[in-house]
């Protein structure tokens, strides 16, 4: 995907490459009038964008997910989107596209992420949260339940006590609590999120992919465990590892090629 190339305006997202660090792909939710509420169409567009950015002839090394308007994502569109045929399969595909992408996905959260919007955040690898950001899963207020992946991921990323507060008591988590417990890597404005993505794009791609695979698959089957172990071993033998050694000796930043 070339720098500046965009998806059709009716898709609900915009996809570009960062002009300073083209190895960063930026996916922006563009329905601020609907508070970026999720429906099957939007889920499919996000999944397609993530898959296209990593399958491009010049694949990105980091994806930054952000949103227009005051809300990151108001959750599922309760006026029809959450009840439409195909919604749950579409949201599952979106989550899988993010968690299985071979590159890290950074969420830039500058407003509320509610319900399904919080699930979107949980799928991402790291999060930057602004002062107006908050996480809220109001399932107990609407009589909903959530799949076991979401429950486990909430416990893993927020911690057991805070997860119970969110899921059972319907509590909200703001910037300060998210940063304090590590759910957000840092608190700051969109510029900080973009700079983090740029910094990560200069790190060793194979190492980032290995750690993401290992952490997202704590109980892999035999074939997947072998693939994770293969990638881990390849990191030590890679040209990037050799480049890092040379860069240390020459007192310069390394230039990684992902091989």
Question: Residues 13-37: what's their mean pLDDT?
Answer: 96
What mean pLDDT comes out for the span 122-128?
98
Poorest-pLDDT segment among 24-28, 36-40, 190-194, 208-212 = 36-40
Mean pLDDT throughout 69-83? 81
pLDDT surpasses 70 at 10: no
67 has a pLDDT exceeding 60: yes
Q: What percent of the chain has pLDDT over 90?
A: 90
Query: What is the rounded average pLDDT of the residues 128-142?
Result: 95
Closest residue by Cα to residue 33 from 84, 87, 71 = 71
The pLDDT confidence band at residue 7, using thresholds 50, 70 and 90, is low
Q: State the chain's mean pLDDT as an integer.
A: 93
Work out the end-to-end distance of the chain between its first and last CA atoms, rounded to an integer number of angstroms. 21
Cα(196)–Cα(22) distance, rounded to whole angstroms?
14
Provide the CA 215 distance to its chain's centre, in angstroms. Answer: 14
The answer to whether the CB of 215 falls within 8 A of the CB of 42 is no
pLDDT at 3 over 60: no
pLDDT of residue 84: 64
Eight-state DSSP code of residue 144: -
Mean pLDDT to the nearest integer, 140-150: 92
Residue with tokens 């992420």: 113
User: What pLDDT score was predicted for residue 102?
Assistant: 98
Confidence label for 197 from pLDDT (cuts 50, 70 and 90): very high
What is the structure's pLDDT at 80? 59
What does DSSP assign to residue 83? G
What CA–CA distance (Å, rounded) separates 6 from 19? 14
Q: Residue 15 above 90 pLDDT?
A: yes
Tell me the pTM.
Answer: 0.93
Number of residues that this document lists for the chain: 259
Q: Which residues pair with 186 in a beta bridge?
A: 128
């Amino acid at each position: 995907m070339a720098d500046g190339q965009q998806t059709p305006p009716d898709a609900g997202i915009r996809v570009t490459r960062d002009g300073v660090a083209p190895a960063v792909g930026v996916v922006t939710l563009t329905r601020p009038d609907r508070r970026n509420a999720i429906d099957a169409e939007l889920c499919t567009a996000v999944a397609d964008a993530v898959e296209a950015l990593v399958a491009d002839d010049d694949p990105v090394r980091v994806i930054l997910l952000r949103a227009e308007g005051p809300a990151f994502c108001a959750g599922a569109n309760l006026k029809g989107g959450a009840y439409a045929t195909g919604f749950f399969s579409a949201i599952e595909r979106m989550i899988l596209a993010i968690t299985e992408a071979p590159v890290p996905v950074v969420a830039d959260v500058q407003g509320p992420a509610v319900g399904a919007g919080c699930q979107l955040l949980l799928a991402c690898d790291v999060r930057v949260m602004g002062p107006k950001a908050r996480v809220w899963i109001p399932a107990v207020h609407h009589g909903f339940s959530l799949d076991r992946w979401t429950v486990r991921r909430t416990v893993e990323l927020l911690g057991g006590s805070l997860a119970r507060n969110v899921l059972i008591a319907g509590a909200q988590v703001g910037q300060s609590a998210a940063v304090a417990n590590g759910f957000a890597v840092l608190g700051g404005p969109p510029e900080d999120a973009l700079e983090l993505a740029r910094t990560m794009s200069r790190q060793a791609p194979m190492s980032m992919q290995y750690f993401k695979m290992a952490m997202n698959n704590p109980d892999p089957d035999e074939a997947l465990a072998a693939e994770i172990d293969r990638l881990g071993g390849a990191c030590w033998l890679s040209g990037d590892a050799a480049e890092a050694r040379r860069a240390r000796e020459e007192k310069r930043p390394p230039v990684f090629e992902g091989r």
